[in-house]
A = this chain, B = another copy of it.
Amino acid sequence: VVHNHDDLKMRTSFPSSKPTIRDIADKAGVSIATVSYVVNGNGSVSAEIRKKVKQIAEDLGYQQNRAARAMKLGRSEVLGLVIPNLENPFFASLSQAVLLAAESHHYQVFFVGTEGSHETQKTALHRLAQQGVDGVILFPVDESEAIGSYSLGIPLVVLDRELEALDLVQAEYYKGGRLIAEHLLQLGHVRFGLLEGPRNVSNSRDRSLGFVEAIQPHGQLVWRETHPYTLALTHTAKSLLVQVKQMGVTAIVCGNDLIAMGVMQYLQIEKIRVPDDVSVVGFDDISFAHMMTPSLTTIKMPVIGMATAAVDLLAHRINEGWQQLEHQRIILDVKLIVRNSSAPPISR
């Protein structure tokens, strides 16, 4: 359906194009330098002229051209943020946190989603570099490609994943895996199913490793299956879930909350009760995790800390000369959040 807004008439006058400092200078009878001083609040300008210029700028609806400014200055005061998938609420929280952290450094953030493809990620990074951002925070789709080789010419901080020769900000995934194992063992679970995240992602491998090592020697890993970080379950995953009871599996450990939510829903369909028949544990603590019924036991990621660390690191590297500094790795703590999806196994 398409209507024309017949009743909406143009009522503003249309400047043929955006006003520049030149326009303001002409109108105020001063030089463009003076206007620039006023706009940026430096230089010494008499109160009178300052006021006049400000007024005219206001009247004209002047907007500073940041591209021109950046060109002159050699920096844009803009950061790029590259995220694999906007639809995962975890990334939404993280992005939000990055935005906030960047603000306190007076950086603006440009934001790109790569939807899990290397190709998109690569072009996104290049586009950002071409656009002149001062630095990039990258949450890589995975680790199968050496990002360093893209050689953007600008500093790059990597979140969450292991990549050579770059600054890194991570969480203690291994410990997260251990915490889950310890929690479940303590509840009395012995036989586990593991629905882990993609293998080509170190955080996923670390989570699994922590878990698998920590259930030794008493726990048994009955099955272990790789699964994408999505709500929709794979066929294999479903077939494993249907038989949990037959296999005596009493706890299912998932690579992230999305998988866990998929699992819980599927179990409900199959009339397998959580946590009575089987406990389910996630990873990330997205906001939906505590809204599930039952609410999801999971690992809380240090989202704010990661964002802050990444921005701080990046800002530092931008200002201190990014090539000279040692590469840093910052690792942040995770926390176990016990909710209702985990409980002692009901002995039969």
Contacts and interface: CB of A to CB of B under 8 A. Distances in A.
Contacts of A127: 66, 108
Nearest to A322: B14
A225 interface: no
Contacts of A131: 66-67, 78, 108
B5 A327 contact: yes
* Tier of interface size on chain A: 35 or more
A172 B324 CA distance: 57
B5 A132 contact: no
B291 A326 contact: no
B329 A153 contact: no
Given A67-B76, A110-B110, A291 B93 contact: no
Given A67-B76, A231-B287, A111 B111 contact: yes
A187 interface: no
A99 B82 CA distance: 13
Interface string A125-139: 011011110000000
A2 interface: yes
Given A18-B153, A65-B130, A261-B291, A326 B5 contact: yes
A165 interface: yes
A40 interface: no
Interface of A: 1-6, 8, 10-12, 14-15, 17-18, 61, 63-68, 70-71, 76, 78, 86-87, 89, 92-93, 95-96, 99, 108-113, 115, 126-127, 129-132, 151-153, 164-165, 231, 261-262, 264-265, 268-269, 287-288, 291-293, 323, 326-332
